[in-house]
Amino acid sequence: ASSHLTHDKNTEEYNDKSHIHTPKDIKPHTDICNEPAVCVPHVSCPAHVRKDNKTSCKAIGGRKGVCCTSGRNLTETFHEKGRHHVQNLDKVTLNFIAHHSQSEMAFLRTKETHLLARENNVLRQGSASYSHTFRNSRAFDATDLSNVFDVANKALEIAFATKAFKHRQGITNQQLELGMIQQDLKLSSLSEFCGRRPFCPPVLEKFRRIDGTCNNLKNSAWGGPFTPYARLLPPSYEDGIWAPRLSARSHEELTTPRLISTTLFPDEDIPNTGYTLLLAQFGQFLSHDITHSMDTSFGNGSAISCCQPEGAGALPHEMRHYACMPIQIPNKDKFYGVFNQRCMNFVRSLLAPREDCTLGYAQQMNKITHFIDCSSIYGSTPEQTGELRSFEDGKLIVFNDFGRSLLPLSKDPEACLTMEQGSACFQAGDTRSNQMISLVALHTIFHREHNRVAEGLQKLNPLWSDESLFLESRRIVIAEMQTIIFKEWVPAVIGDLAMEEFQLKLEEGSEYAYDYDMHIEPSITNEFATAALRFGHSAVDGLIKLYGPKKMEEMISIPEIMFHPARLRKRLFLDEILSSLTTEPIQEVDHSFSEGLTRYMFRGGNPFGVDLAALNIQRGRDHGLRPYNDYRELTGQPRIKSFKEFRPDMAEKLSKVYESVDDLDLWVGGLLEPKAPGSLVGYTFRDIIADQFSRLKKGDKYFFENDPSINPGYFTPDQLREIRKASMSRIICDNSDGILLGRQAINAFRQPGVPGNEFADCDGASIPRVDLRYWKH
């Protein structure tokens, strides 16, 4: 179920074998371009989309790259002599614009108050949409909520100001896309919208901050929570600012995502035995470390409903919240039709302002730290971390359930479906932790890992304070996580070739890395979060098989354990689910999706749930992702000219739901591509993913293997050597309950029990350990 697209015969790059890496191809890439340009893969150079920068070069691995001078700073707005720039405006005009946006905001607020008073506009608590919009995609607590709204409202007001500016000055969408309306707002009443730059002390701090700030001293906010996503390409909005794009040819609304989902994505059982289910589950866990876009809500935190009660249709425009973008369900829908559902709730993501006081298109907010820093374990703000720490012996709080350490219980009565006696609902660093029971399992073992390391350090250094023990343990756990991601998970997803091309391999032994580059923006790109990394949704198996000591005992249908993790309290359950995750195969990354995600997701006690495939497509449009073809070009591939370039059955279906190849949504096109060599995904997703991990490694001063001149929290060479022994299997061995699990395959993401990935005893030496003795002071 993999090859859906035949590449254009004329494309030398993809049909010749020159991109297959042989060691002699590797040249230090700066040799090939004129300094200061460097040769990078197409995807990593934002400037190359601008027609005038097209010098190609041979990148690592022999593939064609582009000489890039932008330093891979995606936030840098376009500057170039000779292009027409909009005139700088006088104060009067700026104040006119500011006034205009303020009155638009006032209008919205009045309407919001009015809507909030009407029952129909607030989501009903028991529904699947409530779990989606409210449980999955909302703020953490009251302080968080006000933080978030503060930032989001500023961004919205800037969007209105941009609209007024656009109309008054006759600015085109293209000028907006290219950031050619640079406008310094410092002198106007809009100046209060300038992002707050965190203050960083001149002496570098040894430990990365909980909120990720002060990592890059020039851009101290980079990577922090409540900041915008980066973008590989400018957005595609109908008005150049925030209105969803229309079809390229007829300029009509695009086909409803639900019809695309039912037409293209049936539920078929197509396992890929090369990889374990843990690859998918860990992927979700990793996503929750680096990206969380939030649905807009009412100012008091209530969830917005965009559909009529009972789902009979969308609410009329005048009765809708401005952030509504409901998904229409066709009359003939075989599944939802049975329940007379014509409307699926969808609320647009919150926005975040640019840091530099400029007008421009809307940008979506990432609520958590962009860096790989285990924010899903520790939280993304000091307040969250404070709630999770025990403040004794450097440990995190645990819920002691008859001798087993589980995550602390959540105090939030809305976090799970039920809080009945004997039930359980957990608190972690990320608010989505209860979404899947297998996700809770991963949170649990990493939470335990922190406490295990803290205990180990305390034995070696009995005089260390709680604070030192906490910070040192966190630093080690983050380093282990980065090791697992770059040594095991990313190569399994994108393959060795891409690891080489994007220079993502970790150093070996006790060597430091020297590839930090302060010009690289580490932020998560919108394309990565909203499309490429969501490849994982296709790999999810809707049925989790649970094995007892001898035989399969149960099949869990995933909607049963969404936001309902009570079973984790059963003595055997954690080991059972970990064993299942490390032995069962993933589902192939392709056109097929579990109905557990496309029909029943978050159903709770209801007969139907929401459709994740439809949500992904709608989210892409909400975030202004450009059509698939534009990203083919970005990754150095030819645009497709006809759906016939896809597999025949797919081509036929695609032409039923898309008027033109230039309408195809990125997430859909990316999924249906044939796989790149050695990779689980096609070239487009592969490159977007590889580029992101390159940013997360080379743009993170505190990346664990950086040398002492870069990383204030560097490890000694001995410690580095130990950290590099970390593996997912060791984490499982050391932190499961040890009742059913005594053996693990060396690489937990790949097919176990085959040559090269044999099972080994947890007690033995085949699964290496990080020896903490090198941390004795």
Q: Give which of ligand HEM, Ca ion, none residue 329 binds (C-beta under 5 to 8 Å, depending on kind).
A: none
Nearest Cα to 523, choosing from 378, 352, 676? 352
Q: Give which of ligand HEM, Ca ion, none residue 661 binds (C-beta under 5 to 8 Å, depending on kind).
A: none
Beta carbon nearer to ligand HEM, 132 or 474: 132
Q: Give which of Ca ion, ligand HEM, none residue 291 binds (C-beta under 5 to 8 Å, depending on kind).
A: ligand HEM
Q: CA-to-CA distance for 206 and 208, rounded, in angstroms?
A: 7
Residue 688 CB, shortest distance to ligand HEM, in Å, is 12
Strand 327-328 with 56-58, pairing: unpaired
Please, is 380 exposed, middle or buried when counting C-beta atoms within 10 Å of its C-beta (0-12, 13-18, 19+)?
buried
Residue 335 CB, shortest distance to ligand HEM, in Å, is 18
Q: Give which of ligand HEM, Ca ion, none residue 373 binds (C-beta under 5 to 8 Å, depending on kind).
A: Ca ion
Q: CA-to-CA distance for 728 and 631, rounded, in angstroms?
A: 33
Q: And the tokens for 399?
A: 């819920």
Q: And the tokens for 643?
A: 């759906």
First to last CA, the chain: 55
Residue 597 CB, shortest distance to ligand HEM, in Å, is 6
Could you tell me the CA-to-CA distances from 275 to 39, 103, 678, 730 in Å, in that order?
33, 55, 12, 18
Nearest Cα to 579, choosing from 376, 752, 425? 752
Q: Give which of Ca ion, ligand HEM, none residue 289 binds (C-beta under 5 to 8 Å, depending on kind).
A: Ca ion
Q: CA-to-CA distance for 407 and 443, rounded, in angstroms?
A: 8
Q: And the tokens for 438?
A: 């297998």
**Three-state SS for 300?**
coil
Residue 41 CB, shortest distance to ligand HEM, in Å, is 21
Q: Give which of Ca ion, ligand HEM, none residue 375 binds (C-beta under 5 to 8 Å, depending on kind).
A: Ca ion
Alpha-carbon dihedral 691, 483, 445, 760, rounded to 10 degrees:
120
Residue 601 CB, shortest distance to ligand HEM, in Å, is 6
Could you tell me the CA-to-CA distances from 510 to 478, 654, 717, 724, 769 in Å, in that order?
18, 51, 5, 9, 15
Nearest Cα to 190, choosing from 211, 160, 227? 160
Residue 579 CB, shortest distance to ligand HEM, in Å, is 17
Q: Give which of Ca ion, ligand HEM, none residue 694 binds (C-beta under 5 to 8 Å, depending on kind).
A: none
Beta carbon nearer to ligand HEM, 523 or 719: 523
Residue 189 CB, shortest distance to ligand HEM, in Å, is 33
Q: Give which of ligand HEM, Ca ion, none residue 647 binds (C-beta under 5 to 8 Å, depending on kind).
A: none
Q: Give which of Ca ion, ligand HEM, none residue 293 binds (C-beta under 5 to 8 Å, depending on kind).
A: ligand HEM
Block residue for tokens 């070996």? 508
Instruction: Classify each residue of 392-416 as buried b or exposed e, where b means 16 or more C-beta atoms within 10 Å of its C-beta.
Output: ebbbbbbeeeeebbbbbbbeeebbb
In 24-97, DSSP assigns E strands to: 38-41, 56-58, 64-68
Cβ 601 vs Cβ 562: under 8 Å: yes
Cβ 259 vs Cβ 70: under 8 Å: no
Cβ 293 vs Cβ 529: under 8 Å: yes
- Our answer to whether residue 288 is catalytic in this structure is yes
In 583-652, DSSP assigns E strands to: 585-587
Beta carbon nearer to Ca ion, 289 or 333: 289
Beta carbon nearer to ligand HEM, 185 or 612: 612
Beta carbon nearer to Ca ion, 341 or 381: 381
Q: CA-to-CA distance for 151 and 98, rounded, in angstroms?
A: 17
Q: Which residues bind Ca ion (CB under 5 A)?
A: 289, 369, 373, 375
Residue 399 CB, shortest distance to ligand HEM, in Å, is 23
Reading phi first (left if > 0) and then psi (alpha if -120 to 50, else beta), residue 264 is in alpha
Q: Which residues contact 59 (CB under 8 A, 6 or more apart)?
A: 29, 39, 40, 41, 65, 501
Please give the helix or strand (H or E) that residue 366 lies within, else none. Answer: strand 365-366
Could you tell me the CA-to-CA distances from 602 to 36, 198, 435, 562 in Å, in that order?
51, 38, 9, 6
Residue 308 CB, shortest distance to ligand HEM, in Å, is 20
Beta carbon nearer to ligand HEM, 619 or 750: 619
Annotated binding-site ranges for heme b: 537
Q: What angle is formed at CA 563 by the lines to CA 667 and CA 546, rounded to 5 degrees?
A: 90
Residue nearest ligand HEM by beta-carbon distance:
536
- Residue 28 burial (CB count, 10 A): 9
Q: CA-to-CA distance for 521 and 1, rounded, in angstroms?
A: 36
Residue 377 CB, shortest distance to Ca ion, in Å, is 10
Beta carbon nearer to Ca ion, 272 or 369: 369
Annotated binding-site ranges: 537
Beta carbon nearer to Ca ion, 289 or 472: 289
In 588-652, DSSP assigns E strands to: none
Residue 55 CB, shortest distance to ligand HEM, in Å, is 33
Beta carbon nearer to ligand HEM, 583 or 706: 583
Q: Give which of ligand HEM, Ca ion, none residue 276 binds (C-beta under 5 to 8 Å, depending on kind).
A: none
> For the packed helices 573-583 and 437-460, what is the interaxial angle rounded to 10 degrees?
110
Block residue for tokens 């946006």? 101
Q: Which residues bind ligand HEM (CB under 6 A)?
A: 132, 136-137, 280, 283-284, 287, 291-293, 435-436, 529, 533-534, 536-537, 539-540, 601, 612, 615, 619
Q: Give which of Ca ion, ligand HEM, none residue 136 binds (C-beta under 5 to 8 Å, depending on kind).
A: ligand HEM
Beta carbon nearer to Ca ion, 164 or 485: 485
Q: CA-to-CA distance for 597 and 541, rounded, in angstroms?
A: 9
Beta carbon nearer to ligand HEM, 177 or 430: 430
Cβ 701 vs Cβ 521: under 8 Å: no
Q: CA-to-CA distance for 591 and 597, rounded, in angstroms?
A: 13
Task: Choose, from 4, 19, 29, 288, the residue flagged as catalytic.
Answer: 288
**Enzyme catalytic residues:** 288
